[in-house]
Structure 1
Amino acid sequence: MNDNNPRRECNMAMETCVLGGGCFWCLDTSFRLVEGVEQVVCGYAGGHDPAPRYEAVCRGATGHAEVVELTYDPAVIGFRDLLTIFFALHDPTTLNRQGNDVGTQYRSAIFTLNETQAREAREVIAELEDDYSAPIVTEVAPLEAFHPAEEYHQDYFTKNPGNAYCQFVIPPKRQKLIQRFSDRLKG
Structure 2
Amino acid sequence: MAKIHPIQPLPPPEDQEPSLDLHARAMDNLRFIRDTMERAGSFTALSGWGQVVIGVTGALASWVASRQASPENWLATWSSAAVVSVLVGVLTTAMKARAARMPMLSGPGRKFMLSLAPPLIAGGVLTVFLFRAGLVELLPGMWMLLYGAGIITAGAFSVSAVPVMGLCFMVFGAAALASPVAWGDAWMAAGFGGLHVIFGTLIARRHGG
TM-score normalised according to structure 1 size: 0.24
Greater strand proportion? 1
